[in-house]
Amino acid sequence: MKTSYEIALDKLEALEPIPRITHPLGQHWDQPDRSEIILDGTHALMSLKTFEALKEYSASNPSVVYEGKMWRRHDGAFDFEFVARGGRPRWMLCWYGRSDKPEHVSNNSRLIILSDGELPA
């Protein structure tokens, strides 16, 4: 049975867009702390150091799936028709989040903006 403190922590955690990694395999995945990223509904603000600490998966998704796992994607970089039409790939923060379906996760993303106001190249 959970203590009132643990229940309160669970309620606070539910407010976080990016969940804590609690899956045992998460101990083998290196990523920056969630506190280093500020999210709104469309953007993820972070430092260059945090950006570089995210693993890059621009042509695929990480194969081991669990809540809280974050990575960066150069969205559109491998869509050659998009690029040929003048499209500019953009960096996205991606993560596996909570799902209403048991044993499932949600796929989430936000456009990355570096804290100096620049978009990553």
- CA dist 76 → 16, 48, 82, 106 (Å): 28, 21, 7, 21
pLDDT tens-digit readout, 87-115: 889 999 999 999 989 899 999 999 999 98
pLDDT tens-digit readout, 58-92: 999 998 999 999 999 999 888 889 888 998 899 99
Asked whether residue 30 carries a pLDDT value surpassing 80, the answer given is yes
Would you list the domain boundaries of the chain?
A: 18-114
End-to-end CA distance of the chain: 49
In sequence order, which ranges of the chain are alpha helices (DSSP H)? 4-15, 48-53, 80-84
Q: 110: closest CA among 62, 64, 45, 27?
A: 45
| Residue 42 CB partners (closer than 8 Å, separation 6+) | 110, 111
